[in-house]
Chain A
Amino acid sequence: MSFPWARQYEPKTGLTKFLDEKLPLPRFVYNAVGAGYPVPRNLNYMWNFGVLAGFFLMFQIITGVVLAMHYAANANVAFASTEHIMRNVNWGWLMRYAHANGASFFFVVVYIHIFRGFFYSSYKAPREMIWLLGVVIFLLMMATAFMGYVLPWGQMSFWGAKVITGLFGAIPLVGEPIQIWLLGGFAPDNAALNRFFSLHFLLPFVIAGVVILHIWALHIPGSSNPTGVEIKQESDTVPFHPYYTAKDGFGLGIALLALFTMVFFLPNVLGHADNYIEANPLSTPAHIVPEWYFYPFYAILRAFTMDFILPAKLWGVLAMFSAILLWFFLPWLDRSPVRSGHYRPLFRKFFWFGLIPTMAALFYLGGAPAEEPYVMLSQIFTAYYFLHFLVIIPIVSQIERPQPLPYSITEAVLGSDKKAVLGENAEPAV
Chain B
Amino acid sequence: MIRIIAILVGLGFAVVALVSFAVGAYTFATEETTPHLPYEEPMDVDYSFDGPLGTWDVAQLQRGYKVYKEVCSACHGLKFVAMRSLSELGYSEAQVKAEAATWQVPGIDPNTGEATMRAGVPTDQFPSPYPNAVAAAAANNNAIPPDLSLMTKARNDGTNYVASLLVGYQEPSPEVLAEHPEAAPGPGLYHNIYFPNLNLAMAPPLMNAGQVTYDDGTEATLTQMSTDVAAFLTWTAEPTLVKRKQTGWPVLIFLLFATVLAYLSKKQIWSAIKPKQHPKNAKD
Name the segment of A12-20, A141-149, A208-216, A387-395 touching the other chain.
A387-395
Contact B80 A80 (CB under 8 A): yes
Name the segment of B6-14, B62-70, B179-187, B214-222 touching the other chain.
B6-14
Q: What distance in Å separates the Cβ of A38 from its nearest Cβ neighbour in chain B?
A: 13
CB of B170 within 8 Å of the partner chain: no
Contact A243 B270 (CB under 8 A): yes
Contact A238 B273 (CB under 8 A): yes
Contact A250 B154 (CB under 8 A): no
The digit string for B43-87, where 1 denotes a CB below 8 A from any CB of A, is 000000000100000000000000000000000000010100100
CB of A30 within 8 Å of the partner chain: no
Which residue of A41, A257, A412 is within 8 Å of B259 (Cβ)? Answer: A257
| Complex contacts, A415 vs chain B, CB 8 Å | 275, 279, 284
Taken together as a complex, chains A and B put the C-alpha atoms of A322 and B13 apart, in Å, by 10
The digit string for A379-393, where 1 denotes a CB below 8 A from any CB of B, is 110111011011100
Give the total number of A-B pairs whose CB atoms are below 8 A apart: 189
The digit string for B227-268, where 1 denotes a CB below 8 A from any CB of A, is 000000000011110001101110110011011001101100
Which residue of B23, B158, B256 is within 8 Å of A306 (Cβ)? Answer: B23
Taken together as a complex, chains A and B put the C-alpha atoms of A389 and B269 apart, in Å, by 40
CB of A276 within 8 Å of the partner chain: yes
CB of B2 within 8 Å of the partner chain: yes
CB of B128 within 8 Å of the partner chain: no
Taken together as a complex, chains A and B put the C-alpha atoms of A114 and B16 apart, in Å, by 27
Closest to A235 in B: B273
Chain A interface residue count: which class? 35 or more
CB of B178 within 8 Å of the partner chain: no
Which residue of A227, A375, A394 is within 8 Å of B7 (Cβ)? Answer: A394
Taken together as a complex, chains A and B put the C-alpha atoms of A63 and B150 apart, in Å, by 23
CB of A333 within 8 Å of the partner chain: yes
Name the segment of A104-112, A158-166, A181-189, A260-268 touching the other chain.
A260-268
Contact A306 B16 (CB under 8 A): yes
User: Given A242-B269, A304-B16: A264 and B245 within 8 A (CB)?
Assistant: yes
Give residues of chain A (212-244) contacting chain B, Cβ–Cβ below 8 Å.
226-227, 238, 242-243
Give residues of chain A (238-295) contacting chain B, Cβ–Cβ below 8 Å.
238, 242-243, 246-247, 249-250, 252-254, 256-257, 260-261, 263-265, 267-268, 273-274, 276-277, 286
Which residue of A86, A268, A394 is within 8 Å of B240 (Cβ)? Answer: A86
Contact A273 B244 (CB under 8 A): no
Closest to A421 in B: B273
Total interface residues in chain B, CB < 8 Å: 62
CB of A55 within 8 Å of the partner chain: no
CB of B33 within 8 Å of the partner chain: yes
Contact B21 A376 (CB under 8 A): yes
* Partner-A contacts on B (CB < 8 A): 2-3, 6-7, 9-11, 13-21, 23-25, 28, 33, 52, 80, 82, 85, 146, 149-150, 153-156, 158, 196, 237-240, 244-245, 247-249, 251-252, 255-256, 258-259, 262-263, 265-266, 269-270, 272-273, 275, 279, 282-284
Give 20 new A-B contacts, CB below 8 A, not counting A257-B256, A332-B2: A87-B85, A226-B282, A242-B269, A250-B263, A252-B262, A254-B259, A264-B252, A265-B248, A268-B153, A276-B237, A286-B196, A329-B6, A382-B13, A383-B18, A389-B6, A394-B3, A394-B6, A406-B283, A412-B279, A415-B275
